[in-house]
Amino acid sequence: MYLFIAFLMVPIIEIALFIQIGGAIGLWPTLAIVVLTAVLGTWLVRTQGRLALGQLQNSFSTLNDPTEPLAHGAMILVAGALLLTPGFFTDAVGCALLMPPVRMAFFHYLRNKVKVAQFRMGTRPGSGQGPNTVHPTYSRDDIIDADFEEVKADNEPSKPSGWVDRPKRH
C-alpha cells in the first residue's frame, strides 16, 4: 500500500514543483537546474560509491560484518537513481541520501526494524554443519592458498621422488 501511495504521490509532487519553480524563474533556468543536478548527482554518486566500495572491501579483508557498507552502497545506488530522475523532489531526496549522517540515521532506523533470525559465515549448504556447530575463528595467517592435482595410481612414476616414503619391494 505504501509503495502504491509513493508511486502516486511522487509524480504529483514533481509536477507541482515544476509548475511552481518554472513559473517563478522561467523554463530555461528550470531545465538548467534539472540538468545540473543530474550531472552533479552523477559525480557525487561516483565519489561516494568509491568510498562505500572501499569500506566494503575493508570489511571483507578484515572479516568484519559487511552489513553497514552494503547498506550504504545500496542507499548510494538509490540516491543515484533519484538524482538521475528529472525532478526537484527526487533530487532533494537523492541529495539527502548522499549525506553520510542521513544514511547512518536511516541505517540505524532500519537496523532497529529488521530482526535477523540467523547469520552464519564460513559454511556451505550440505556441509553437514548444523546451526549449533561451533565454528573456529580463522586469521589470515591460518589460511594457505594452494592448488593441487590428484595423481591416479596408473600415472605414478616408476622411481620415487624422495618426497614419499614407499616400502621397498623384495
Examine residue 22 and state whether it is found in any structural domain, yes or no. yes
- Residue 28 is assigned to a structural domain of this protein: yes
The mean per-residue pLDDT over the stretch 70-99 comes to: 89
Instruction: Answer whether residue 160 is part of any domain.
Output: no
In this predicted structure, what is the pLDDT of residue 169?
61
Q: Which residue has the higher pLDDT, 92 or 131?
A: 92
Among candidates 148, 150, 147, 31, which has minimal Cα distance to 86? 31
User: Cell 546451526 maps to which residue?
Assistant: 131
Whether the per-residue pLDDT at 137 is higher than 70: the answer is no
Query: Taking 70 as the threshold, does the pLDDT of residue 35 lie above it?
Result: yes
Rounded to 10°, the helix 88-98/100-113 angle is 80
pLDDT single digits (tens) 17-33: 999 999 999 999 998 99
Q: Report which of 103, 127, 122 is spatially closest to residue 63, judged by C-alpha positions.
A: 122
1 assigned to some structural domain? no
Q: How many domains does the chain have?
A: 1
Neighbours of 52 (CB within 10 A): 23
Q: Is residue 93 part of a domain?
A: yes
**Residue 23 is assigned to a structural domain of this protein:** yes
Range picked from 87-91, 110-114, 121-125, 152-156 for highest mean pLDDT: 87-91
DSSP 77-127: HHHHHHHHSSSHHHHHHHHHHHSHHHHHHHHHHHHHH---S----S--TTS
Q: Which domain holds residue 101?
A: 10-113
- The reported pLDDT for the residue numbered 110 is 87
Res 12 pLDDT > 90: yes
Comparing 38-52, 69-83, 139-153, the range with the smallest average pLDDT is: 139-153
Q: What distance separates the 2 farthest-apart alpha carbons in the chain?
A: 104
How confident is the model at residue 129, as a pLDDT?
Answer: 52
> What is the rounded end-to-end Cα distance, in angstroms, of the chain?
84
**119 falls within a domain:** no
Q: What is the mean pLDDT of residues 129-138?
A: 54
- In this prediction the pTM is 0.61
> How far lies 146's CA from each of 84, 143, 149, 152, in Å?
46, 10, 10, 19
- The answer to whether residue 34 is domain-embedded is yes
